[in-house]
Structure 1
Amino acid sequence: MAAGGDGPPEAELRRGFTTLSVARPDPSAAVYEVRLDRPAQLNGLGPDAFAEIPRAMALLDRLPSARAVVLSAAGPHFCAGLDLGSPGDPVTAGPSLADPAAAAEGLRRAILEMQAALTAIERCRKPVVAAVHGACVGGGVEVVAACDIRCCSKDATFVLKEVDMAIVADLGALQRLPRIVGYGNAADLALTGRRITAMEAKEMGLVSRVFDSKQELDAGVAKIAKEISEKSAWAVMGTKAILLRSRDITVEQGLEHVATWNAAMLRSNDLEEAIKAFLEKRKPVFSKL
């Protein structure tokens, strides 16, 4: 990761996107907002979105001035799921090949590429905080499942609709949700396709905080992201990496992994600054990336 100025990633972010808007709402905070920005289509996820989400996340991962990311959405709803029937949609269109094996391989490749697009949210080293309002359907749930922290407004609803569309959810919900809400709750959501409210989502652990309105959600999530961004970037990125790695291995393996990580990263200038600031009863000033 380059030190000093923002450089190429910042310049590339300014070139714009067609399905997203990426901005730094508060110039004094090291927080960037990635907003799903197709409100007329209820932020449905089409081929362009699956190309742009990983590009935005990769750029923010490399950007020194980005220490936390907010993932939000424009319009009355967070996301209506996959934009089925849109040009280039691999699910309904499918490859026009006479050989069924070749057609199946083409569809498999398209699904893997869409999976990778959402996994890019998880792999971004900067913590990603989801701000969900209105309806969050199908692929939208799979998007937020890839985020690190999930918050919503009181009007938010969540539904895995794929089973009602004769589809097996294939972008990560069936893999990530059991680890977030437990197997029983994940099976309930995935097999029934029922819609749950914001409060039920909080009760099962899908979201950690519920805000009374969209305005309060935006302010609350901005505050959470800013608080994260003010901590040591090395400690925050390391914590995210260890959490994700420990999710998929045994406790013993996780302990060994974090020991190895801290053997390399513990003696940072940020640790020295944190101790000094604590003793001097002041706010620490951590190093730039």
Structure 2
Amino acid sequence: MDEKIKGLSVATQLGARVPTGLIIVPEAYCAFVEEGALPKGLGAALASHLSDIERRIGQKIGVFESDKPPLLFSLRCGDKNGVVRLPEFMVNIGLAQAEGQVKPSDAFTGILQEEYTMQARRFQGSLLAGAAARNTLHNPFGSAVDELLYYIERIYAHFQEMEQAGQHHFNRWLIVQQMVYANWNAQSCSGRAYTRNPRTGQADDFGKYLMQRSGAYLNLTPLEQKKDLRELRDDIPEAYDQLKAFFAELESYYRTPRYVEFVVEDRRLYILQNTRGSYAAR
């Protein structure tokens, strides 16, 4: 199984909060190649799973409420397997369903739309030529399922181009997850960290985070504007304690240091990634 998916599974087993979601297995891509189109039944399966998530969470996709973040989704590829070029992830899927619900002056909605537009451009720019030109007339989306199918089809077209170019050593897993919001309020952030210092091997705080900014901005923000992980103890002490406790659980389970990506939404820690890190220390 994909390393990223296995890492999230272990994080869940250890009691960490992991955003709920679903996995699209590689067999769906194989069917796409054989049929020349997305497999029949994929849309219905996605609709069924998303409806189940709505029931479990008690929210409708794209419906904004005053006291809680909206239910939206991200779509990500699995592990990159070295230098293989995979498409960028997509965020805030389902936002199109919210059009007309909220006032344009709603600041949080504007932030979500800005992030969606930015990431859609990055997604488009990460596709190979054939996939980038495929099915570009997509607005407006009728539902979150329509939106997911649109992006899945283009990712699969990208995969197919890679295979035709002789690249075969990459994972075909796709991950659909509920969005959690590092920009929800002043007690929210996104970050990346190692369970210990990768240079010395000491159990020191080693990572960076951004207050009230989503993970999409972590790569775009200059290093000097990111905060050191140790500062999280003062900014959001509850989340810092949750993260350090999770680090201890991880190292006890794996018997080796790990790399973690996380979001804090209103003081609650969510784990987005748990993978092997690169360590100089021995």
**TM class, shorter-chain normalised?**
under 0.3
Select the structure with the greater relative contact order (CA < 8 A; seq sep ≥ 6): 2
More helix by share: 1
Question: Which structure: larger Rg?
Answer: 1
TM-score w.r.t. length of structure 2: 0.28
TM-score w.r.t. length of structure 1: 0.27
